[in-house]
């Protein structure tokens, strides 16, 4: 009896990560000249009365700190999100 053909390795679907885009160039009170990119996550943020989960974009800054931009409180700042493919490790 012939042996069955081995199954080809299953291809993993590409994984994605959520990338936030922050445009604060139109905010007169801030001095940002470029569009910034960061990781989208949910953080516990003080809303004035209690800690509440909020969708935020965490942008690494040049001085080894990160700025956190909330999607729910942005006034003259434009926040958007996109999915970006991440290479699967082999």
- Residue showing tokens 């936030």: 20
Give the per-residue pLDDT at 63.
Answer: 87
Domain limits, the chain? 16-83
Give the per-residue pLDDT at 4.
Answer: 67
Mean pLDDT of the chain: 85
Q: In what order do the strands lie in the sheet with 36-46?
A: 66-70, 51-60, 36-46, 15-23, 78-86
The model carries a pTM of: 0.71
What's the pLDDT tens digit per position in 31-63?
Answer: 888 999 999 999 998 888 999 999 999 999 888
What value does the mean pLDDT take over residues 54-79?
89
* Residue 15 pLDDT class (50, 70, 90 cuts): confident
């Amino acid at each position: 009896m012939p042996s069955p053909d081995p199954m080809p390795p299953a291809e993993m679907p590409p994984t994605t990560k959520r990338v936030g885009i922050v445009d604060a160039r139109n905010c007169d009170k801030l001095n940002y000249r470029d569009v910034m990119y960061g990781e989208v996550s949910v953080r516990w943020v003080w809303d004035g009365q209690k800690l509440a989960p909020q969708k935020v974009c965490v942008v690494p800054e040049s001085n080894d700190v990160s700025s956190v931009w909330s999607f729910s409180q942005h006034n003259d700042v434009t926040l958007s999100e996109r999915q970006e493919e991440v290479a699967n490790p082999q």
